[in-house]
Chains A and B, each alone.
Chain A
């Protein structure tokens, strides 16, 4: 998937992946896509909840070998 910015939140725990994502989203324009890498298993539910509450669209969630990849489109 194409993306405009990447955030490496691997090794970080709650709530840092969400806080960093919020910051990274502020640096891209509306309609642009942020790719997020995380190793926090809690971030799967958290990013879904974050998207729902902020209106940014979670395009996809994938897991491979304990690593999670999210693509989020800015509102």
Chain B
């Protein structure tokens, strides 16, 4: 298992899509893979100091079960099929959905994104942020956590070209 390598490109900036890169990277590191994540476009949100920017939106997402994380079992089992038109009009709908999702995550013993991200860093998963997108979106390096490297596509290929597993998320 020595010398196996994995690279991930993380391009999504929502709470739900924050999970796959960090789960896979931390697990790969535990299995002995040398691992890098390249954060680009909306994926940059995953390496912000402030993770409260990560939200989940049920709007236009028919695959997302809408279930309540509290109450008796029959109540938790109900799938609240709320039409997109209503979701779009109710102020704060996304914030409520995000709070409910965070509660569901905690109820199920699933780690928070902050915890998983720290576990990745402890396991020496290398984080690279796309410098072009940092500028494009008007971010400052001070918006991001310590330990990031900044680079471009060529930097990604330098490592990705030698990997056993390479994922675009």
Contact = CB atoms under 8 A, between A and B. Distances in A.
A19 B110 contact: no
A12 B30 CA distance: 16
B68 interface: no
Contacts of A18: 27, 30
Contacts of B108: 13
A13 B110 contact: yes
Interface in A9-66: 11-16, 18-19, 21-22, 39-40, 50, 53-55
Interface residues of B, number: 13
Contacts, number: 36
B58 to A, nearest CB: 22
Chain A contact residues (Cβ within 8 angstroms of B): what range? 10 to 19
Nearest to A14: B23
Give the one of B1, B27, B30, B110 with max A CB within 10 A. B30
Interface of B: 1, 23, 26-27, 30-32, 108-111, 119, 123
6 pairs of A and B residues whose beta carbons are closest in the complex: A22-B30, A13-B109, A15-B27, A11-B109, A13-B110, A12-B109
